Amino acid sequence: MTDLETPVATRPRTGALRRAAPALLGYAAVRALGLITLAVWSAANGKSAHTLLTARWDSLWYTRVAELGYGYEVRLPNGDVHSNLAFFPLLPWLERLASALTPLSYADAGLLVSTLASLAAAWGIFAVADHVYGRRAGVCAVLVWAVLPIGTVQSMAYSESLFTALAAWSLYAVLTGRWLTAGTLAALAGLTRPVGAAVVAALWVAAITSFVRDTPSPRDTSYVANRSARHPDGAPAWRRALGILLAPLGAAGYVLWVGHRTGGGPLGYLDVQAQWGNGFDGGYAFARFVGDKFTSFPSALAGLGLVVGVALVVWLYVTCLRQGQPLPLLVYAGIVTALALCASGYFGSKPRLLLPAFPLLLPLAVALSRLRTSRSALVLGGVAVASAAYGAFWLNGTGPP
């Protein structure tokens, strides 16, 4: 039996990093290409790549939370209030910790956290894909995630990399029956972004499904001799139950704290988001936005691109279903996708909101893994160059990613 064929559960833990090394090195190379391209492009435009990565848009809000705590807000001419309570606390907490332990500013600490988190996310994506489809697919999954057109966000002082790392490792823990680890990581993911609910849901569905599967039939007399009701992975029922209880604590704790602070009750956080123009309307506002693009010829091309992009996302999810991805991955990817596409708000950020939905990329990774190494490297290399150029162009624009 070759190393590629060795079941994940039987591989020594000491070899986990070595096994993931090609994926991590490839990921680092893609991100380095993106940063070099951004630096050159920004310099040509008289801008600072460092500022673009650390001190614009959402990264500024996270830095202010790290430096000043919660309570900062901006009042707009139309009366809306943009409060930093909209931003979940784990990233700014880590920025504050890193700044306290190093000479780095809060902004640079955020960049350090994001860089380390992006590597952890790449490793987590590899672990999940390797567990489900094998090592070659795991390497390809990481590289496909790295070369996404909006992959440059992975190098910014944003929370996407941190959230993806926590989500990927929580899902891997679910797939391998480590319920306490999965619950703890899900709770941390819930302290990172509102979409942490997707990780919680994936864990809950997996745990409840395992409970149902383990429920004995009245005719199953063997159950009398084994009342521990152990999951096939060897985890006793109490571990699954504790994982279920741990998972929502992060998100629930922060949302309830915001509600108490604002006086808005349990749903006070939704009021904070509404002031930012964010909410869940089933995709109505996004559909109107796309429809408005078809009112004139130049913008119709953009509208057509948006339609094609949404169709591609839907096709990828359907392909995930047809390939029989594990249920936790399907639940997680489905919720992340639904929240991204069906939320109102700044529509230019929707590609970024889809960045953590890495299970959608697994069909592409599997297809690439079946090609010769030279061909898959050629495809990924070409896309990496295009992605680096697009990322530099995007960040040098006027709107936030």
pLDDT at position 10 is: 43
Distance CA 332, CA 195 (A): 10
- What is the pLDDT confidence band of residue 234, given thresholds at 50, 70 and 90? low
- What is the pLDDT confidence band of residue 301, given thresholds at 50, 70 and 90? confident
- pLDDT of 6 above 50: no
Question: 34-62 pLDDT, tens per residue?
Answer: 999 999 999 999 999 999 999 889 999 99
- pLDDT of 365 above 90: yes
pLDDT at position 280 is: 86
What are 344's strand-pairing partners?
Answer: 279
Name residues whose C-beta falls within 8 Å of residue 18's C-beta, 6 or more positions apart in sequence. none
| CA distances from residue 375 to 369, 378, 380, 387 in whole angstroms, order as listed | 10, 5, 9, 18
Grouping H, G, I as helix, E, B as strand and the rest as coil, residue 247 is: coil
Residue 85 half-sphere exposure toward CB, CA atoms < 13 A: 24
| CA distances from residue 92 to 208, 309, 363, 371 in whole angstroms, order as listed | 33, 32, 34, 42
Q: Where are the domains of the chain?
A: 20-216+232-277+374-395
Closest alpha carbon to 148 in 116, 189, 118: 118
67 with 109: CB under 8 angstroms? no
Q: What is the mean pLDDT of residues 100-111?
A: 97
Distance CA 152, CA 31 (A): 7
Report residue 302: phi and psi, to 5°. -65, -40
Looking only at the bridges linking them, the beta strands covering 279-280 and 343-344 are antiparallel
- What is the pLDDT confidence band of residue 79, given thresholds at 50, 70 and 90? confident
Looking only at the bridges linking them, the beta strands covering 343-344 and 73-75 are unpaired
pLDDT at position 63 is: 96
Closest alpha carbon to 119 in 154, 74, 79: 154
- What is the pLDDT confidence band of residue 114, given thresholds at 50, 70 and 90? very high
Region of poorest pLDDT, from 83-92, 107-116, 294-303, 369-378: 294-303
Q: Which two tokens stand for residue 40?
A: 């050159």
Region of poorest pLDDT, from 108-112, 244-248, 298-302: 298-302
Grouping H, G, I as helix, E, B as strand and the rest as coil, residue 215 is: coil
Report residue 75: phi and psi, to 5°. -100, 125
| CA distances from residue 302 to 130, 269, 290 in whole angstroms, order as listed | 36, 33, 8
- pLDDT of 289 above 60: yes
In the chain, the N- to C-terminal Cα span, in Å, equals: 46
pLDDT at position 285 is: 84
DSSP structure string for 36-81: HHHHHHHHHTT--HHHHHHSSTHHHHHHHHHHH-S--EEE-TTS-E
pLDDT at position 14 is: 54
Q: What is the mean pLDDT of residues 241-253?
A: 96
Residue 269 half-sphere exposure toward CB, CA atoms < 13 A: 15
* Percent residues over pLDDT 90 in the chain: 74
CB-CB neighbours of 286 under 10 Å: 20
Is the C-alpha dihedral spanning 51, 56, 62, 64 positive or negative? positive
Name residues whose C-beta falls within 8 Å of residue 130's C-beta, 6 or more positions apart in sequence. 8, 19, 20, 137, 138
* Percent residues over pLDDT 70 in the chain: 91
Is the C-alpha dihedral spanning 273, 161, 154, 342 positive or negative? negative
Residue 357 half-sphere exposure toward CB, CA atoms < 13 A: 25
Question: 168-182 pLDDT, tens per residue?
Answer: 999 999 999 999 999
Looking only at the bridges linking them, the beta strands covering 81-83 and 73-75 are antiparallel
Question: Rounded mean pLDDT of the chain?
Answer: 90
- pLDDT of 206 above 60: yes
- pLDDT of 203 above 90: yes
Q: Which two tokens stand for residue 321?
A: 């279903």
DSSP structure string for 149-208: TTGGGGGSSSSHHHHHHHHHHHHHHHHTT-HHHHHHHHHHHHTT-TTHHHHHHHHHHHHH
Global confidence as pTM: 0.92
